[in-house]
Amino acid sequence: MTTYKHMTASEANAMTQRADPDWHVAQILESVKKAAEAGKFTLKSYACNFGDGRLYGGKPTDLQQSVIKKLKELGYSAEIRVADHQFVDIWLEVGWAKP
């Protein structure tokens, strides 16, 4: 007898949210809040697949570009960074200026 795993409505809703730039921005801003409370002025984020190796020498997806645009509209700096060492590290660096 074969057992099938059926997707729940809650799981489908979560998948839909992951395609929404605002959902990713909200996730990033939760981390920004924690970093700011700790006295930091930058955040290294891998949210929204910003750590994906396909970004190395490539172009961000439309979703990633929308996330960057929304963060910039909110006054943050938002840049994809790459560090070439023994392994490549790719991330979104989000920053906010000192007052």
Distance CA 29, CA 21 (A): 12
pLDDT < 50 regions, the chain = none
Per residue in 54-68, pLDDT tens?
Answer: 888 878 999 999 999
Exposed, middle or buried: residue 61 (CB in 10 Å: 0-12, 13-18, 19+)? middle
Residues with Cβ within 8 Å of 31's Cβ and at least 6 positions away in sequence, in order, are 43, 45, 47
Q: 26: how many CB neighbours lie within 10 A of its CB?
A: 13
Side chain identity at 37, as an amino acid letter? E
